[in-house]
Structures are given as structure tokens and as C-alpha cells.
Amino acid sequence: MTRLIVWRHGNTDWNAGSRVQGQTDVPLNELGRRQAADAAELLVRLRPAAIVASDLSRAADTAAALAALTGLTVSIDERLRERHFGEWQGHTMAEVAAERPEEHARWTAGEDVVGGGVETLDDLGKRVCDALQDAARLAPAGGTVVVATHGAAARQGVGHLLGWRREQMRTLRALQNCHWVELTHDEARGWQMAAYNVGVQAGRPVPPPV
């Protein structure tokens, strides 16, 4: 059985300010670096065989915290980048809602945004799913691979990997910063979700809500 850990990056100042990051390269803040270090202390116990990350620094630096404990080199894959939010990037969600209400309404409803240069959900899911499948192949049979990526990218990529419809994907709450999804794969059952939104809070592991 192969295990795949899909890990969201740590906190950034734009996260804290509810500002749309998308593919803007925003670094981890002090809290984010601490979150990454705390999460890495748990993930190292899974004895990962490989670590893969988005090339955006908030994900790559999150992965680096685990690499420092394992001695592994982080492989970079641009397909793991966050959803491209086009003209929304750099604005707060309140600004988007006020200035682009029709686009924001479609986003809130889980529909593709028409206008603004926002990447479609299918395009996002397919590219991240392809990257996850390639990452999983880096581990020997029975091994674990940790993939550091982004919130929307993780949800859509995992959903595509599991073959879920868009309506099913919307039942997943957003991953918290530095929390992860655990997936397993075997020849008989294919991909299955073992845990969702697992992480560290106040220095203690948080049990998965599903």
C-alpha cells in the first residue's frame, strides 16, 4: 500500500489578511514557519521516502522543514501551484465581493468564475491530480510520499484523484494551514481517503474531522 500525504503550506501575511494569493509568491510568516516545524515533527514519524512541493516559496519552505528532519531533497513540481486567481490576486475577498460581485457569487456557489482570468476548477484539478500521481510513483511499494501544496489545489487535486464529482468536493472544508490529507492506494481498491484536515494545534495533534 502506498501512502500519499497532501500537505497545505503554513500561514502567510496574506492568509492572515484574507488576501487572495493564487500564484503570487507570498512567503511564510513567523507563524507559518512555526507551523511547518511543528507539523514536520509529526510527519517525520511516517518515514517518508520522498518529498515534493509546489515551486511557490510558501509551499517549498514548508516542505523544507520536513526535509531538514529527514535528509531528503525536496523535488519541485510547478503543477502543484495554487489555483491561478487572475485579477483577484492581491485583493482581499471583501474587495472582490464588492468590486466583482457576479464573479464572487459564482465562486461562492462553487461554479467556475466567468471573467477575471480565474483558472477553471477542472483545469486546476487535472493538473494537480497529474502531479499527485507522479509524486506517488516516487515511493517504493508500501512507501510514503509527502506533497506540499496549497488549499484549493489540494482539494481539487485530491477530488480528481478519487474520482469525485464537483458536488462531492464541495463537502470538504478548506484545509487549515499546515494540515494535510492522508490517501492510500493499493491494487485492489485504488485510491482511498484515510484522513482529512489532520495537523497540529497548540502543540498537539488534531484528530481528523472525517
**Average pLDDT per 10 consecutive residues for the chain, totaling 210 residues:** 97 97 98 98 97 98 98 98 98 97 95 94 97 95 95 97 94 95 95 96 45
- Contact residues for 151 (Cβ-Cβ < 8 A; gap 6+): 8, 82, 174, 175
Q: Give me the pLDDT at residue 208, please.
A: 41
As annotated, the residues of the chain forming the CATH 3.40.50.1240 domain(s) are 2-84+121-198
Q: Give me the pLDDT at residue 77, please.
A: 98
Element (DSSP H or E) covering residue 102: helix 101-108
Active site residues: 9, 82
**Nearest residue to 59 (alpha-carbon basis) of 47, 44, 74, 42:** 74
Q: Give me the pLDDT at residue 204, please.
A: 46
Q: Give me the pLDDT at residue 142, please.
A: 85
Cβ pair 53, 78 in contact under 8 A = no
Q: What CATH code would you report for 2-84+121-198?
A: 3.40.50.1240
Is 15 known to sit in a ligand binding site?
Answer: yes
φ, ψ at 99 (rounded to 5°) = -95, -25
Q: Give me the pLDDT at residue 8, please.
A: 98
Is 29 known to sit in a ligand binding site?
Answer: no
**Nearest residue to 106 (alpha-carbon basis) of 154, 196, 151, 166:** 166
Is 17 known to sit in a ligand binding site?
Answer: no
Q: Please, what's the b/e burial string for 123-132 (b: 16 or more CB within 10 A of its CB; e: otherwise)?
A: ebbebbbbbb
Q: pTM for this structure?
A: 0.93
Cα separation, 79 vs 153, whole angstroms: 9
Instruction: Give the three-class secondary structure for 17.
Output: coil
Residue with cell 471583501: 94
Is 197 known to sit in a ligand binding site?
Answer: no
